[in-house]
Structure 1
């Protein structure tokens, strides 16, 4: 009988656990911990295991590689565990804090004489927001400590390469900065409280316009920095990011090498030398053109009549009055004309972008309201959004190329033929103009998408602005600076998710609404139902802080 009873209990354990969890409120720390761990684990394991489904090379590594990944991501200091400690730990500390204050209020502060009474008085004087923030500071400090305790995060591993958690830290920093900006922009003034509803809505609409403009400005500046680093300092960007840009822009690596050589002085039109000597001549020959078209000793450095004589001798007919490498070589043989080259590359990027953005727009609908895709108007709207995003990315690529050609061929070099192409093809010439122009394509995207795109590129732009030498130095200041930048912003975001969720946007809003309040939160429920109506105001989830009378009596 005892054996049967044990078997029955083991069999019923999952159901009993589920029944127990259903009795807990959605914002209970245990519920938050389960949702955080499951979400973080999927984010960590998904990209790690995906190559086993798409790559034969990855599958050739066998089961041992899979077991290694599972062991790494299920360990106590894994990403999922650390994020659970950071997110759910703060909720647990705040939960215990509330229970302690309730107990203190009931007992009148007995047993808290001396210094403890002062501490309790100070803690009781804090607002709910401050208490939540302090709780999150403690938990996120443990979280970053767990991440840095991994073997590959050892102090010796920091020398010669950046911290493995640097990208995550910068993402958290940018999201927190956005939360603060949203709070500042949409915080109503005292005088606005007494204005009519129509006037309030008009002011909110103006603020939303300024938000989209600010998003566009951030994206433009960030993309300009990223593209410039792609051309000249690719080590400042993640390798996968460089590879993705290279694939999308379809640039011959030798063109990039030549641009970097011009910047470093190892390739010069005016001095007529190249290191290595066949840097551009090999590209010209591979494209089916005479090698001399890529020889800086034979290509004219300046525009004007003398350049026309040189081009006639070389057999180039479409660079009258100009110097520098012929367009055929720069375009890698894709098209002779600059406009045709930019257009073709834009179309190629459009095809790549459709494959990229189709799941981006469709998957959220499949996860939250799949029936909407069965309705023709919604399906058409989704496809229009995909086409719009693909047009944005293709315009981005075409603008880079057209900016390069506008500088060195179509306009600026023609206006100033006396300036050598050592300048027009330098880091302050054609590539600089192309980097500045491409960000303007963000205006093709919808307002909400502009914000998400700006938040996506800004962390990479910040990383590209940080001194590479300092980041890879392995100094203690690097580690402690990263910990501080991780703890304070993440605490800010988690606090906003509880007290000011309206200041969160995009992925932060989606993820934290699910983690902190569960799938039945108003935001997620509206997405499943496909409605835009605001949620019914809910009563505060936090118990009000006990009055300070008890604290005063303790003194």
Structure 2
């Protein structure tokens, strides 16, 4: 935009009239929310954005599933079933559209959060003016914004938490003495909004760390002491955050899958394309159920897998094979660890392109031209290469620890092999896979790092906890949101990635 403005300011006078005419037409047309009172515009924008983000994905999923169901019904030539399917489609669509209007769902939460933070700012500022005259105008302005956002975030999250969810309620039988009958007591658990709270916390930490680092950079550059090492830290911070976070998520997916959301587990399983018996064998190695060199009755697990892949059944017997060959990890691609990694990359690349390319082409339709098409192909290819490299590096890390490097460091006896397959091999894959983020452009790295970080944090916490401790989560969310919202209003560029742009457009007057 700065280049365009500079060009316009130096343009010849002959273009001045056309420029003024275009500006007048733009002002006459105005924005869609010009007729809404300025104080209510952020609230309305937030509600509409929240409604769209809550409803659109579910509607899209319904539209994608409906043709398959309709085709199946038509193939069976069941007129009544086809009619029922159409009715079911309309009913499902209606439920989705009406569900977004529930006052205890995400759209209302967004409106209460944004609307409350903007509407409460002036009353809080007036109160601060009366309470303290020693504060500067800037300090009072920042404090009023922070307190307004904190209060709005606290109340809006409580609104979201007030809706009961089957996954966070339990009914337990209670025996009563008078009269002696069995009653049921409902127990509510907190944690339903944990992902949202951790998302806000990760963003607040990023804002604070980014501000402190920016001030350090400015000070050291002013005295000429900014080093190449510090510059490298700035460039590698986002890849490092993504690597640590994604490694923690992958470790949890292997050993503690119940700590991940079901949809996340399912997506990782689809991308990894691994035989579940192999995962279970690694889990049993870690828990000590499967012990190399001992007959603990674990042979049938990988023995059945050997039968399916036409390998010697002895490969799957831990009492005979110490350890089971790396070819078992390769799942039919042969004995070469390098070829297996390459084949994983190619398969994952094709799988990812089937998802990323249609989305990129859809975005390119906004300005259909050759350059947009080329950009869509490059973007889809880069993202697919990132995912392919992620999966290939994970598997090759496992092979490095099991076959290429690990035995030369840890040892080759049964105890060392047990140690390698009990966690070292998976840990090596987790440590390597995230560095594939370097394939992506810098702008995508920060968004992906801040997307995965809250999910990694969630693996360290219980998915459900006592209802009496919910206030702690609410306080963390409110404080984190207040930091982010205050920063958006003070310095929008400090809130990095897409979120900063979205919040900046929503919170503007």
Provide the rounded CA distance (Å) in 1 between the counterparts of 2:362 and 2:118.
Answer: 30
TM-superposed CA distance for 1:217, in Å, is 1.3
Distance 1:340 1:33 in 2: 55
Which residue of 504, 508, 511 corresponds with 2:499? 508
- Do structure 1's residue 73 and structure 2's residue 100 form an aligned pair? yes
Q: Distance in 1 between the 2:32 and 2:293 partners? A: 79
1:443-492 CA-to-partner distances (Å, cap 9, x unmatched) read 222222221111111111101122x3xx4232411x11211121111121
In the alignment, the residues of structure 1 paired with residue 381 and residue 433 of structure 2 have an alpha-carbon distance, to the nearest angstrom, of: 18
The 1:253/1:191 distance shift into structure 2, 3 A limit, reads closer
Corresponding residue for 2:12? Answer: none
1:397 is the counterpart of 2:380: no
Contact 2:293 2:320 in 1 (8 A): no
Aligned residue runs from structure 1 range 20-35, under 5 A: 21-22=33-34, 28-35=38-45
Does structure 1 residue 260 correspond to structure 2 residue 255? no
CA distance in 2, matches of 1:453, 1:422: 35
Q: Is contact 2:402–2:420 with CA below 8 Å preserved after alignment?
A: yes
Check 1:390–1:488 CA distance in 2 against 1; reply closer, same or farther (3 A cut). same
1:285 to 285, 292, 307: 307
Describe the SS at the equivalent of 2:426: helix
Q: Secondary structure at the match of 2:324?
A: coil
Instruction: Give the structure 2 partner of residue 443 of structure 1.
Output: 438
Q: Distance in 1 between matches of 2:271 and 2:456?
A: 19
Aligned to 2:447: 452
Q: CA deviation at 1:396?
A: 0.9
Q: Which one scores higher on RCO, CA 8 angstroms, separation ≥ 6?
A: 1
Structure-2 separation of matches of 1:359 and 1:455? 25
Please give the root-mean-square deviation of Cα atoms over the aligned residues, in Å: 3.3
What is the match of residue 108 of structure 1? none
The equivalent of 1:426 in structure 2 is: 422
Consecutive unaligned residues of structure 1, counting only runs of 5 or more, are 1-17, 102-115, 302-323, 518-540, 542-555
Deviates more, 1:234-243 or 1:149-158: 149-158
Q: Which residue of 264, 274, 284 corresponds with 1:241?
A: 264
Using a 3 Å threshold, how does the CA distance of structure 1 residues 325 and 87 change in structure 2: closer, same or farther? Answer: same
Task: Report the CA distance shift for 1:143/1:162 in structure 2 as closer, same or farther (over 3 A).
Answer: closer
Offset at residue 84 of structure 1 (A): 0.7
Alignment of 1:224-373 (within 5 A): 224-275=247-298, 277-299=299-321, 301=322, 324-358=323-357, 361=360, 370-371=366-367, 373=368
Partners in 1 of 2:397 and 2:216 — Cα distance?
Answer: 42
Report the equivalent of 2:244. 221
Task: Please state how far the C-alpha of 1:122 moved relative to its aligned partner.
Answer: 7.9
Structure 1 residues 281 and 340 mapped into 2: Cα distance closer, same or farther (>3 Å)? same
Aligned residues: 445
Equivalent position to 1:473, from 465, 470, 487: 465
State the match for 1:39 in structure 2.
49
Q: Could you report, residue by residue, the CA deviation over 1:276-332 in whole angstroms, capped at 9, with x for unpaired residues? A: x52111111111223222112222x2xxxxxxxxxxxxxxxxxxxxxx112332222
Structure 1 residues 386, 409: CA separation in 2 closer, same or farther (over 3 Å shift)? Answer: same
Aligned to 2:385, what secondary structure does the other structure show? helix
Query: Is the Cα contact below 8 Å between 1:354 and 1:390 reproduced in 2?
Result: yes
Match of 1:4 in 2: none
Q: Secondary structure at the match of 1:336?
A: coil
- Residues 16-70 of structure 1: CA distance to partner in whole angstroms, max 9, x if unpaired? xx99952568xx3311111111111011112222331122599955544444333
Kindly state the Cα deviation for residue 191 of structure 1 after the two structures are TM-superposed.
6.1
Give the 3 Å change call, closer, same or farther, for CA 455–41 of structure 1 in structure 2.
same
Q: Cα–Cα, structure 1 residues 396 and 155, in superposed 2: closer, same or farther, change >3 Å?
A: closer
Compute the TM-score of the two structures, normalised by the length of structure 2. 0.78
Alignment-derived partner of residue 499 in structure 1? 490
Q: Note the alpha carbon deviations across 1:68-117, whole angstroms, 9 max, x for none.
A: 3333320211110011110121111124556x58xxxxxxxxxxxxxx99
Q: 1:174 is matched with which residue: 168, 186, 202?
A: 202
1:146–1:162 CA distance, 2 compared to 1 (3 A) = closer
Compared with structure 1, are the counterparts of its residues 364 and 176 closer, same or farther at alpha carbon in structure 2 (3 Å cutoff)?
Answer: farther
C-alpha contact 1:212 1:448 (8 A) present in aligned 2: no
Call closer, same or farther: CA 1:58–1:119 in 2, change over 3 Å. Answer: farther
Task: Give the distance between the partners of 2:190 and 2:337, measured in 1 at CA.
Answer: 39
Deviates more, 1:136-145 or 1:439-448: 439-448
- Given candidates 191, 194, 202, the residue that maps to 1:163 is 191
Cα distance in 2 between the residues matched to 1:395 and 1:165 = 33
